[in-house]
A = this chain, B = another copy of it.
Amino acid sequence: MLNETAVAALEQTNAAEPEKRIRDRSATERAILKAAKNLLAEEGFQNFGINAVARRAGCDKQLIYRYYGGLDGLVDAIGTDLGNWVKDRIPEDTGGMFLLTYGDLMERLSLLFLQALRDDPLMRRIVAWEVSENTEQVKRLSEARSKALGQWLDRMRGSLTPPKGVDTAAVNALIFASIQHLVLAAAAGGQCAGLVLKNGKDWEKAAGALKRLVRGVYG
């Protein structure tokens, strides 16, 4: 539900934009896509609908049907846009460090992923969506990301091998799961399982614990 300030801001935006809509299809398409992403990032998937997107984009919802084939197509467009998320957010260079062991690699990836997720409200909403609904839409949205993370790991791994007897697929899934839930819970309620996560110091502690967890299994 929109609160008064959001409504006021919207009206203000409309009022501040008396200029006539230009007849530029690609520009309109971009405006719609941008509006959709902002709306999803700011309001979450609960109030994510045709009407709300059109309202924010400042155009008629009919155009969303025409250009994207409805909400489904629009979500798909967001998804393909997010295909490069890992590539854009998580650098492949070692940042001047020497990654000698698989543990080094996973520690680095974990901390980078933690930071990237903290910094991206849109991705957070998508992950929350992912665990709340089971539509084909959402599945496709997140599949690309987990695949991309796996590919990142593959590329960076090189000749590094994990310790013997460790089920890396399962352990890494747990590590990524912990990061995602921690960030989501913190973004939603400021804490996770009783651990307050608000200022930078809180996050330093969390990052330290994450390091310990990773180093515990991978050395």
On A, residues with C-beta under 8 Å from B are 44-46, 128-134, 138-139, 142, 146-147, 149-150, 166-167, 169-182, 184-185, 187-189, 192-195, 205-206, 208-210, 212-213, 215-217
Known: A46-B132, A149-B194, A177-B181. 6 other contacts (CB 8 A): A46-B133, A128-B132, A134-B189, A169-B195, A173-B182, A177-B177
| Cβ A210 vs Cβ B174 within 8 A | yes
Q: Is the interface of A mostly helix, strand, loop or mixed?
A: helix
- How many chain copies does the complex carry? 2
Q: How far is the CB of A20 from chain B (nearest CB, A)?
A: 38
Assembled-state Cα–Cα distance A51/B32 (Å): 33
| Cβ A195 vs Cβ B217 within 8 A | no
Chain B residue numbers with a CB within 8 Å of A171 are: 209, 212-213
